[in-house]
Structure 1
Amino acid sequence: MPAAALTSKRVSKTVPKPVLIDLPYVPLQKKALPAGRPREWYINHNRRLKAMRLAIALLDSGVYLPDQAKNSTIRSMAEEVGIHPPSDITCHMVRALMRYSR
């Protein structure tokens, strides 16, 4: 019997065991943004990150629909979380993220 036939019989599929996470969540270390891009790119990038943080905080607090997220609601959540008050554009982005996540 060829050696390849013997090894194929011994190979068994093993199911990987789940990894238990026992450490609390730690955010990743921040990296410097890539250099050489136009200033507007950095402004939009930071605005998107802020909108994502606010959308997650609103969803965690029970605001699930974009219609429930008025500018005043978003700004009060930003104050509660410790983020600078967002502009009207950022508030619009928060509602857009909530709308398109479904």
Structure 2
Amino acid sequence: MHDLIATGGLVVLTAVTNLADKAAGVPKKGELIDHAWRPLIKQPLPAGRPRSWYVSHNRRLKAMRLAIALLDAGVFSADLATNDQIRDTADIVGVHWPSDATCRMVRRMMQAQR
């Protein structure tokens, strides 16, 4: 991660050595986010939901990570993202091997209208 420092009208990227010092808490309702580049502190998922909710939530997060990684790698079309290419990207990113359902979700996310 990097930190931004404004110096006399210039914005300079500097390396962040410890992410724990730079993590921001989850903003409260109505609170402004003044450091959007800082990662949020991870919080536990809400308790009491059915197991299927947690499975689908984690699948959506994994698909989002993979879709972002594919877009960063230059794969801008869902037609070009094959299961093998998505799984190769998962190995590079360090995400567990995605199932066929997760691969379909990645392609749906990539072709969504913005």
* TM-score greater than 0.5 by the shorter chain: yes
Q: 2:91 aligns with which of 73, 79, 85?
A: 79
Instruction: Say which structure is richer in strand.
Output: 2
Output one character per residue of 1:31-79: Cα deviation in whole Å (capped at 9) or x when no partner.
0000000000000000000000000000000000001000000000000
Secondary structure, counterpart of 1:37 in structure 2 = coil
Larger Rg: 1
Higher relative contact order (CA 8 A, sep 6+): 1
Question: In the alignment, which residue of structure 2 is the partner of 1:47?
Answer: 59
Q: Are residues 1:97 and 2:86 paired? A: no
- Superposed CA RMSD: 1.7
Could you state the TM-score of these two structures normalised by the residue count of structure 2?
0.68
Q: Flag structure 2 segments of 5+ consecutive residues without an equivalent.
A: 6-13, 17-36
TM-score by length of 1: 0.75
Cα distance in 1 between the residues matched to 2:113 and 2:70 = 13
> How many matched pairs?
83
Specify every segment of 5 or more residues in structure 1 that has no aligned partner in the other structure, as ranges: 1-20
Of residues 88, 94, 99, the one that matches 2:100 is 88
